[in-house]
Amino acid sequence: MGILTGKKGIIFGALNDKSIAWKAAEAAAREGAEIVLTNTAAAMRFGTTKILGEQLQAPVIAADATSVSDLEALVESAMAHFSGQFDFVLHSVGMSPNIRKSIPYENINYDLMGKTLDISALSWHKLLQVLYQKDAIRKGGSVVALSYIAADRVVSGYSDMADAKALLQSITRNFGHIFGKERGVRVNTISQSPTMTSAGSGIAGMDKMFDFANKLAPLGNASAEACADYIVMLFSDYTRSVTLQNLYHDGGFSSMIVSAEVL
Ligand SMILES: NC(=O)c1ccc[n+]([C@@H]2O[C@H](COP(=O)([O-])OP(=O)(O)OC[C@H]3O[C@@H](n4cnc5c(N)ncnc54)[C@H](O)[C@@H]3O)[C@@H](O)[C@H]2O)c1
């Protein structure tokens, strides 16, 4: 439909073709956007971000989202590439070393928890702050991060990622308030269904959680492709008055308690 025609933006987190960010980059390009892709240097070595860059004719720039200097260099490069301000950013970044090492929440390692919070939540504040300080986003622009319902309700096994997502949503409201008031820029999170990606598959019991959510949600789990379409809509002008929100994209799961099928 070309709803992003003339728009430009940065997409974080396309590791492989299962990544939500990968689908979002494809959908944004399909809708007419120009894109810069970014991921960590390590992810670019082991993942396939560069292949996506070639497919979409998008520059791929390495940046660690926890490093303010990397984020500054990335935003400067994007502004040089786009010849000025741009319109959207997707933060599709998350990782918990505690989950990776199967350390239970009640026995958590606090150094690792600090890393979880830095990668999965503080990086969002750092990104917003760099974008704000460099006045990188055009008025009416849209910045989106990905969340999960464990920010609001208990999902056993989601461990310190639940705390990171709660902080991510709080930063969305608090920074979004300033970004909206001062610059007319929208800031939202999308709370996505369980999705079979590298990050998703790392959660203990993910297969069972995926099946449970799929049965409980009246529309079933939302796919990564459907999430990409929702992200594109949030980047578009059709959502120009939506900001400070955590938007459930989960087939209706978040409003359910029980269904005949699950019982
Ligand atoms: N998969 C799910 O079930 C699910 C559900 C809801 C929300 N989410 C969220 O969606 C987002 C994307 O995850 P995904 O499921 O597509 O998995 P993914 O593994 O494909 O993507 C996670 C990305 O984060 C990147 N990353 C990790 N540390 C980084 C750092 N320091 N700097 C920059 N990038 C870094 C990885 O390289 C990877 O590309 C995450 O925020 C995740 O928490 C996922």
pLDDT of residue 46: 85
pLDDT of residue 134: 98
- Using the mean position of ligand 1's atoms as its centre, give its distance from the Cα of residue 241 in Å: 27
Q: Which of 196, 189, 179, 181 is nearest to 135 (CA)?
A: 179
pLDDT of residue 200: 82
The atom number, within ligand 1, closest to the CA of 16 reads 20
Q: Give the three-class secondary structure for 260.
A: coil
pLDDT of residue 56: 97
pLDDT of residue 147: 98
pLDDT of residue 136: 98
pLDDT of residue 199: 84
pLDDT of residue 259: 92
- Using the mean position of ligand 1's atoms as its centre, give its distance from the Cα of residue 21 in Å: 8
pLDDT of residue 36: 98
- Using the mean position of ligand 1's atoms as its centre, give its distance from the Cα of residue 257 in Å: 27
pLDDT of residue 201: 80
Using CB distances shorter than 6 Å, the residues near ligand 1 are 12-13, 15, 19-21, 39-40, 43, 64-66, 92-95, 119, 146, 148, 192, 194-195, 197-200
Mutation choice for ligand 1 from 197, 206, 250, 253, CB with most ligand atoms inside 8 A:
197
Mutation choice for ligand 1 from 16, 18, 19, CB with most ligand atoms inside 8 A:
19
Q: Which domains does the chain have, with CATH numbers?
A: 8-255 (3.40.50.720)
- Using the mean position of ligand 1's atoms as its centre, give its distance from the Cα of residue 13 in Å: 6
Name residues whose C-beta falls within 8 Å of residue 225's C-beta, 6 or more positions apart in sequence: 23, 27
pLDDT of residue 177: 98
Q: How far apart are CA 15 and CA 30, in angstroms?
A: 19
Consecutive 10-residue averages of pLDDT for the chain (263 residues): 96 97 98 98 91 97 98 98 98 97 97 98 99 98 98 95 98 98 98 92 86 96 98 98 98 96 89
